[in-house]
Chain A
């Protein structure tokens, strides 16, 4: 009965999305390998967030289909968790409740969900801040809360919408290193939207370059060997630098 396990955790097939007369995505197909991190990279307005929200089930495509583990997406599901660009934390709830909120919405009993949340709060390095409110945290710490919330529902696919764009540069670098470790540690599939070329090359197993109006996948890049050299070696690796240059060369004509 069981078909050979597909290599792809998520597949998007011929996705089109129109907003009225505006074509945001046209006939876009893309596969996301299981257990890896795929970046959607492109200039602003290229529809990468739209695609991510379609995968999340938050938006409906005009045509086409997304499959997660072979099942068609009709709405949000327990197999996907979302990390938001603006963190989307509840300002009236402390860190513990925010992290446990995904489980709370799923009806998990309080003691159980708080135990799970505490574990992930420690994992993302926020131990001791359980009782703090979001306004008491820095931007980077807030996004760690958002990440812990997404991890605590234990979805196989993590959807991240420019998660580091609202944090400062140093925090961002730390986040990127942590993300590499996270991909290693958790057997999850990551889909990561970014507009930073360096970030995409640094963190991704696979980079899908999207070009705008209407948006389509122009190129798929799979960075090779340098990713195994250790987080602190990547940024000076010649292959890393070449890929960054190459992507910039193909994108620059689309940037006004």
Chain B
């Protein structure tokens, strides 16, 4: 009963948004704003002739590499920062500054140092994705309930066991929320890199279609990358549920 109802609501909300889009496109609010159906037609065309897959192949490279690096390095560093006060003092400010820095302003610098290839784009993704992953991880690790850590020690857990079997799983809800934020920031970074550094992949479709006033294609490309991001985040949520069942329902002592 319930899943069906929530599916209905999801479909309903999608119908409202797309309906509004369609109407706004038909008025039209702007010459450069296509209707929903035109956009979908352009999307289908790009899927059928394969351009979209080629473009995603390009875009996903820096995105996946950047996210993989950010996740592995970010969780590792965050863990370290959370466990050691000294490391916190050394590294936290860097990530706080990184999080606050306006990325677009740094891109020329990155291009100067790393050129216009994959490296620069990976860097852009990392700069976007990593700070929130690091800061969330370190915060969550620091806030592990002290009685759980004491429990581990009193039952003779080794340092390693306490980190792997208690601190990391206890921190996982917040680590995962950091990952979700990081991944969505990484998507922004990947597209930004393609718009600002060299037009490739989805960024290329967006800027090229705009330059030839093919707005349906431009919106289709934007739509497809948003769709991909949503799917990716959903996947991450599934992974979390699978790994730590029971965790997302709060701590037993919360009640």
B161 to A, closest residue via Cβ: A105
Residues of B196-255 whose CB lies within 8 A of A: 244-247, 249-253, 255
* Number of residue pairs A-B, CB distance < 8 angstroms: 87
Interface size on B, residues (CB 8 A): 28
Interface residue SS majority, chain A: loop
**Interface size in chain A (residues, C-beta < 8 A):** 36
Complex Cα gap A139–B152 (Å): 21
Chain B minimum-CB-distance residue to A76: B154
List 24 A-B residue pairs with CB atoms under 8 Å apart, sorted by A's residue number. A57-B154, A76-B154, A80-B154, A82-B151, A84-B150, A87-B253, A88-B147, A88-B148, A89-B253, A90-B169, A91-B170, A91-B247, A91-B249, A92-B169, A92-B247, A93-B246, A105-B155, A105-B165, A106-B156, A133-B246, A134-B252, A139-B255, A149-B155, A166-B253
Bound together, the chains give a CA A38 to CA B82 distance in angstroms of 39
Residue of A nearest to B244 (CB): A92
Closest to A82 in B: B154
Knowing A92-B244, A105-B165 touch, does A84 contact B249 (C-beta < 8 A)?
no
- A53, A75, A87 pick with most chain B CB within 10 angstroms: A87
By a CB distance below 8 angstroms, the chain A residues around B244 are 92
- The answer to whether A137 touches B252, judged by C-beta atoms less than 8 angstroms apart, is yes
What is the distance, in angstroms, from A230's C-beta to the closest C-beta of chain B? Answer: 34
Interface residues of B in 175-215 (CB under 8 A from A): none
Give min CB distance, A106 to chain B, whole Å: 6
A88 and B42 alpha carbons, distance in the complex (Å): 56
Q: Are B252 and A91 in contact (CB under 8 A)?
A: yes
Q: Bits for A181-224, please: 1 = Cβ < 8 Å to B, else 0.
A: 00000000000000000000000000000000000000000000
Question: Does B153 touch A at the CB level, under 8 Å?
Answer: yes
Residue of B150, B155, B161, B255 with most partner-chain A CB within 10 A: B155
Q: In the complex, what's the smallest C-beta–C-beta distance from A168 to chain B, in angstroms?
A: 12
Provide the bound-state CA to CA distance between A101 and B157, in Å.
10
B246 touches which of A87, A92, A106, A139 (Cβ 8 Å): A92
Looking at B145, B165, B252, which has the most chain A CB atoms within 10 Å of its CB?
A: B252
Question: Smallest CB-CB separation from B251: which chain A residue?
Answer: A91
How far, in angstroms, from A86 to B253 measured CA to CA in the complex?
6
Residues A68-117 near B (CB distance < 8 A) = 75-78, 80-82, 84-94, 101-102, 104-106
A190 to B186, CA, bound (A): 55
Q: Which residue of B lies closest to A57 (CB)?
A: B154
Q: Say yes or no: is A58 at the interface (Cβ < 8 Å to chain B).
A: yes
B166 located at the interface, meaning its Cβ lies under 8 Å from any Cβ of chain A in the complex: yes
Which B residues are in CB contact (< 8 Å) with A89? 252-253
CB contacts (< 8 Å) of B154 on chain A: these are 56-58, 76, 80-82
Distance in Å: Cβ of B68 to nearest Cβ of chain A: 25
Residue of chain A at shortest CB distance from B245: A92
CB distance from B147 to the nearest CB of A (A): 4
A135-B246, A135-B250 known; A76 and B153 CB under 8 Å? yes
A75 to B145, CA, bound (A): 20
**Measured between alpha carbons, how far is A240 from B157 in the docked complex, in Å?**
41
* Bound-complex Cα distance A78 to B154 (A): 9
Given contacts A58-B154, A89-B253, A102-B156, 6 further A-B contacts (CB under 8 A): A57-B154, A76-B153, A89-B252, A91-B170, A135-B246, A153-B155
Q: With A105-B161, A135-B252, A137-B252 in contact, do A90 and B155 touch (Cβ < 8 Å)? A: no
Complex CA distance for A84 and B158, rounded to whole angstroms: 19
Nearest Cβ distance between residue B54 and chain A, in whole angstroms?
A: 42
Q: A85 CA to B166 CA in the complex, in Å?
A: 18
Would A101 and B253 be within 8 Å (CB), given that A84-B147, A91-B247, A133-B246 are in contact? no
- A58–B172 alpha-carbon span in the complex (Å): 25
A8 to chain B: closest CB distance in Å? 21
* A81 touches which of B155, B157, B245 (Cβ 8 Å): B155
| Chain B positions within 8 Å of A56 at CB level | 154
The distance from the CB of B187 to the nearest CB of chain A, in whole angstroms, is: 29
Look across to chain B and name the residue whose beta carbon is closest to the beta carbon of A159.
B154
A17 at the interface (CB under 8 A from B): no
Of all chain B residues, the one with the shortest Cβ separation from A85 is B147
Task: Across the A-B interface, give the 9 residue pairs with the lowest CB-CB distance, nearest first.
Answer: A134-B252, A133-B246, A88-B151, A92-B247, A102-B155, A105-B157, A82-B154, A86-B253, A88-B147
Residues of A within 8 A of B251 (CB): 91
User: Which residues from chain A contact B249 at a C-beta distance below 8 Å?
Assistant: 91, 133, 135
* Complex CA–CA separation, A106 to B158 (angstroms): 9
The reply to whether the CB of A144 lies closer than 8 angstroms to some CB of chain B is no
Q: In whole angstroms, what is the CA distance A57 to B156 when docked?
A: 11
In the bound complex, CA of A80 to CA of B151 (Å): 12
* Docked pose: A104 CA to B153 CA in angstroms: 13
